[in-house]
Amino acid sequence: MTPEEIKTKDKDIHAFLEVFDSPKPYGDGPLSGKTIAIKDNILFEGHKVSAASRILGHFTAPYDATVVKKLKDAGAIIVGRTNMDEFAMGSSTENSAFGVTKNPHDLDRVAGGSSGGSAAAVAAGMVDMALGSDTGGSIRQPAAFCGVVGLKPTYGRVSRHGLIAMASSFDQIGPIAKTVREVESLYNVIKGEDPMDSTTISDATYPARNNFLKVIGVPKSFIENEGVKKEVKENFKVAIEKFKSLGYKIKEVEVESLRHALPVYYIVMPAEVSSNLARFDGVKYGLHIDGENGIDDYFKTRGEGFGREVRRRVILGTYVLSSGYYDEYYGKALEARALITSDLRKLFQDVDLMLTPTTPGPAWKIGEKSKDPLEMYLEDIFTVHANISGCPAISLPSGSAGALPLGIELTADLGREDNLFAAGKEFMGE
């Protein structure tokens, strides 16, 4: 699609915040000729990057993120920056300061979030591939809602240099595309160690322990949660039968600590948000609003520059880190995080993959959950464990509820993206 064609098609969807007028390939490589969109929290030198926030509304990236450099070297054509929940905080892309992204399958419904623009752009055929970021499901959930494939890599497999941070111990950049093969090819381009990000790891960090035995664990009691829609449970049963037909052994497992994953995430994540967003003070860069003095400048800039959901998470994070509450909330959450990680590592000694739905229901109508943050947070029930533990996970299109796509999620042990790709390609018939 030409930039003009993308702009015309995007008028109804609003997947893009900006379509570049003269996108060009920068090199010749494995992505030559492929059009790619990047989420609006990934720096692309000389272009605006706002994290869909007013506080960075006119900020221009001074350098390329490592993933952008790798895209250029691979010959990709970067066509624009996609809409998202402000600072990646949300599950619907309704929290963008610049308008809602709509689901290409039903324009009355959300595209998911926070990488909703990237998923919608791929689903609508406006680009071949896209990059998103995943902090608690922000690639996988919109991929499921839009009927495409989304991967959250192992923590550290993809550099975060040039990614505007939300929660640094959870954030990972990852690919979205229509097929597992395309996701795999994009992942292979962007992965690798980076001297600019000390958390990155090499292929040798998690060497393969055994062959792929095609054993899938299903945490049945976790999936039988009363908040999971009937059509999701029925679709999940169909997916299990399909894996069985492909020669996979399905093993019912119990991971008791998974029930703690959501509360752990919503304590640790806001704490990191509170710390990371302290840099947006109206002094260094971005929006500045004059007040009566320096402190008033700070309060007015952040009060008007940040949206409601960002302010909510900053306040919550500041609270759990405050004197008298740190040990009671944050300290205990870190202990529970370690337990969840340990339990998943033990699980993957017995199975190759864990299978769950990606989301408890299909895409909801725009505005339906906006007034109840807790209801919105519950949408992350099947995705946050991968970010808590660092494990890789992939969402695959699987059936539908009427015209609305549904997804299933496979989680693997640290560094075992190869298992995700093998099972994903078989499931998708690629």
Give yes or no: 389 in active site. Answer: no
Domain carrying residue 288:
1-430
CA–centroid distance for 168 within its chain: 13
* pLDDT on residue 210: 66
* pLDDT on residue 56: 96
Tokens of 126: 């406006």
* Angstrom distance (rounded) from CA 122 to CA 15: 9
- Cβ burial of 185 (10 Å; 0-12, 13-18, 19+) is middle
CA distances from 148 to 2, 30, 166, 375, 397 (A): 22, 21, 24, 24, 6
Give yes or no: 342 in active site. Answer: no
* Helix, strand, or coil (residue 377): helix
* pLDDT on residue 211: 79
On the question of pLDDT at 264 being above 80, the answer is: yes
* Angstrom distance (rounded) from CA 18 to CA 64: 17
On the question of pLDDT at 370 being above 90, the answer is: no
* Angstrom distance (rounded) from CA 233 to CA 118: 27
Residue percentage of the chain with pLDDT more than 90: 90
Q: Which residues contact 393 (CB under 8 A, 6 or more apart)?
A: 140, 151, 152, 383, 386, 409, 410, 411, 412, 420
Task: List, for residues 327-363, the tens digit of each pLDDT value.
Answer: 999 999 999 999 999 999 999 999 999 999 999 999 9
Q: Which of 39, 70, 191, 369 is catalytic?
A: 39
Instruction: Please state the length of the chain.
Output: 430
Instruction: Tell me the average pLDDT of the chain.
Output: 96
* Angstrom distance (rounded) from CA 114 to CA 96: 9
Q: Where are the beta strands (DSSP E) in 226-370?
A: 249-252, 353-357
The pairing of beta strand 149-152 with beta strand 16-19: unpaired
* pLDDT on residue 206: 87
* pLDDT on residue 209: 66
- Cβ burial of 193 (10 Å; 0-12, 13-18, 19+) is middle
* pLDDT on residue 373: 87
Task: List, for residues 129-183, the tens digit of each pLDDT value.
Answer: 999 999 999 999 999 999 999 999 999 999 999 999 999 999 999 999 999 999 9
Q: Are the CB atoms for 84 and 119 separated by under 8 Å? A: no
On the question of pLDDT at 50 being above 70, the answer is: yes
pLDDT band at 25 (very low <50, low <70, confident <90, very high): confident
CATH no. for residue 152? 3.90.1300.10
Phi, psi of 175 (to 5 degrees): -95, 155
Task: List, for residues 192-249, the tens digit of each pLDDT value.
Answer: 999 999 999 998 898 766 678 899 999 998 998 888 999 999 999 999 999 999 999 9
Task: List, for residues 288-326, the tens digit of each pLDDT value.
Answer: 999 999 899 989 999 999 999 999 999 999 999 998 899
Give yes or no: 72 in active site. Answer: no
Quote the number of domains for the chain: 1
What is the arithmetic mean of pLDDT over 237-262?
97
Q: Which of 138, 159, 370, 398 is catalytic?
A: 138
Q: How many CB atoms lie within 10 A of CB 106?
A: 18
Q: Which of 53, 92, 96, 114 is catalytic?
A: 114
* Helix, strand, or coil (residue 214): coil
Percent helix / strand / coil, the chain, rounded to 5:
40, 20, 45
* pLDDT on residue 203: 86
